[in-house]
Amino acid sequence: DQFGIAGLLTFIRAANENDHNLIALAPGIDLTTLGLNLNSPENLYSTFQSPWVDLPCRPQDIDYHVPTEYLTNIFLRDKLAPIKLNRYGEDVLFFLFYMNGNDFIQLAAAAELYTRDWRYHKEERVWITRAPGVEPTHKSAMYERGMYYFFDVQNWRRVPKEFHLEYDKLEERPTLPNTMHHNASQQ
């Protein structure tokens, strides 16, 4: 485990053996020599979550005092019309899915994409759908082969690709929590 105690010991030993690349960041170095003001009452980096997280904190995850007059969701929650995801295009659904991780709206967007015949491939970690009007070249109970569209999140576009698709590698239909069934049925 490179991030556990054994990994730390290996790191320290390598740093002590005059590996100049590791000495610069070896445990015990004074971080103020790198320009960090550790005595500042402000956060060093406002959206830093953890060294093991690839994404910065979302604004709603940052613990910050908000005046009660700004907390309008308490008063408006039951007065707003339900969100009808079936009215939105696929680009909006993909945006909601990728930008709202671990949120109800991500699950709702995934359910709507599933309704539109998009499937999430668990190993490839992409959304995939059959190319319209093109039947699979081979189909069995376990897999099919044919032309599919993959949603490329880096370039934000659908990419056609010949693919061997095993059904057990696809995510099942997302299950919406009870609080969302009412809204989902009104879509």
Q: Find the CATH number of the domain harbouring 126.
A: 2.30.30.1020
The counts of H helices and E strands in the chain are: 6, 5
Query: Within this chain, do residues 57 and 129 fall inside the same structural domain, yes or no?
Result: no
Query: Within this chain, do residues 126 and 48 fall inside the same structural domain, yes or no?
Result: no
Has residue 68 been placed in a domain?
Answer: no
| pTM of this prediction exceeds 0.75 | no
When mean pLDDT is compared across 56-60, 78-82, 115-119, the lowest value belongs to 56-60
Q: Please count the structural domains in the chain.
A: 2
Query: Within this chain, do residues 95 and 176 fall inside the same structural domain, yes or no?
Result: yes
Specify the pLDDT at position 155. Answer: 95
Query: Within this chain, do residues 49 and 136 fall inside the same structural domain, yes or no?
Result: no
Query: Within this chain, do residues 109 and 161 fall inside the same structural domain, yes or no?
Result: yes
Query: Within this chain, do residues 37 and 114 fall inside the same structural domain, yes or no?
Result: no
Rounded to whole angstroms, the Cα distance separating 164 from 3 reads 36
Q: Are 96 and 105 in contact (CB under 8 A)?
A: yes
Tokens of 47: 């959206």
Residue 20 burial (CB count, 10 A): 7
Which residue among 28, 61, 94 closes a domain?
61
How confident is the model over 91-128, as pLDDT tens digits?
Answer: 999 999 999 888 889 999 999 999 999 999 999 999 99
Has residue 15 been placed in a domain?
Answer: yes
Answer whether residue 186 shows pLDDT above 60: no
How confident is the model over 126-183, as pLDDT tens digits?
Answer: 999 999 999 999 999 999 999 999 999 999 999 999 999 999 999 999 999 876 544 4
Reduced to 3 states, what is the DSSP secondary structure of residue 19?
Answer: coil
Angle between helices 104-115 and 90-99 (to 10 degrees): 150
Query: Within this chain, do residues 55 and 90 fall inside the same structural domain, yes or no?
Result: no
Has residue 28 been placed in a domain?
Answer: yes
Instruction: For 130, list phi and psi in degrees, rounded to 5.
Output: -65, 145
Has residue 75 been placed in a domain?
Answer: no
Reduced to 3 states, what is the DSSP secondary structure of residue 76?
Answer: helix
Can you give the residue range of the structural domain that contains 109? 85-185
Tokens of 157: 């576009």
For 13, the enclosing helix (H) or strand (E) is helix 5-16
Rounded to whole angstroms, the Cα distance separating 183 from 93 reads 16
Give the pairing type, strands 143-152 and 126-130. Answer: antiparallel
